[in-house]
Amino acid sequence: MTCEIIMEWLKVLISAGTPVSAFLAYLAYRANGVRDADKELTAQARMSLKWAYDALTEEGKTIPPPADRLNWLTCARHLLRHDYLVAQIKTDTYRTVHAEQAEFWRHQFYLALNHQTLAFPHYYAGPGRYGPLSGNGIEPRSAAVVVAFSSWPEGQVDLIERVDAAGMVGGSDTSAKFGVRAYLADFARAREELAAKARASDRAPEDA
């Protein structure tokens, strides 16, 4: 085979590969664009959670939060925008990163809201029988949004459920490991005793 023929074949192969190379380059460009967008979305979602918390608690200075209508409204709006941002995150990596950030802020909201003061409707209603309708109380939908965020999301898998506690504290002894192993044994024993009592209680009507 002459050099001229070889060169012609190389030209054909390169020409055939050009569309493939261009397509692969396009896919890489698109993937990078998605990752860049997800990075921005994740960063803003984290900021929205912080802004929401700061609006509700006056930057963490007032806990439990004051029954301020505007504070609760502003907090709820940031949380709703946070949900909108999160819904646009496409990559698993950034979804996982965001889930970790959201769990931190969810706990902060829980600590801020878990006070006896907030257990009574008059906290939200404001003065007068028709406080919410007169614009004096907290807007009901904003209260629902804020309180819902502070709770564990329905259907979300708890990573603790996957933990093999006994297996994790095996091996070399430390004071804490010794104590936890004893605690786990006591816990398992107490759970079995309660289960046995429940089974006995279920059988009691049949034995009567």
Rounded Cα gap, residues 35 and 17, in angstroms: 27
Does residue 140 contact residue 152 with C-beta atoms inside 8 Å?
no
Does residue 73 contact residue 17 with C-beta atoms inside 8 Å?
no
Distances (CA, A) of 148 to 76, 143, 153: 10, 8, 8
pLDDT of residue 50: 98
* pLDDT tops 60 at residue 6: no
* pLDDT tops 60 at residue 3: no
Task: Express each pLDDT in 35-89 by its tens digit.
Answer: 889 999 999 999 999 999 999 999 999 999 999 999 999 999 999 999 999 999 9
| 9: amino acid identity, one letter | W
pLDDT of residue 192: 87
Residue 23 confidence class, pLDDT cut points 50, 70, 90: very low
| 207: amino acid identity, one letter | D
Residue 120 confidence class, pLDDT cut points 50, 70, 90: very high
Number of C-beta neighbours around residue 57 at 10 A = 21
Q: Is the pTM of this model over 0.95?
A: no
Mean per-residue pLDDT, 165-171: 81
Question: Whose structure tokens read 């390169």?
Answer: 14
Number of C-beta neighbours around residue 75 at 10 A = 25
* Long-range contacts formed by 66-72: CB under 8 A, 24+ apart: 67/123, 67/124, 67/126, 67/137, 67/138, 68/138, 69/126, 69/135, 69/136, 69/137, 69/138, 69/139, 72/138, 72/139, 72/142, 72/143, 72/146
Mean per-residue pLDDT, 155-169: 84
Average pLDDT, the chain: 83
Q: What percent of the chain has pLDDT over 70?
A: 78
pLDDT of residue 155: 82
Paired tokens of 129: 């029988």
Q: What is the dihedral of CA 98, 99, 105, 109, to 10 degrees?
A: 140
Residue 158 confidence class, pLDDT cut points 50, 70, 90: confident
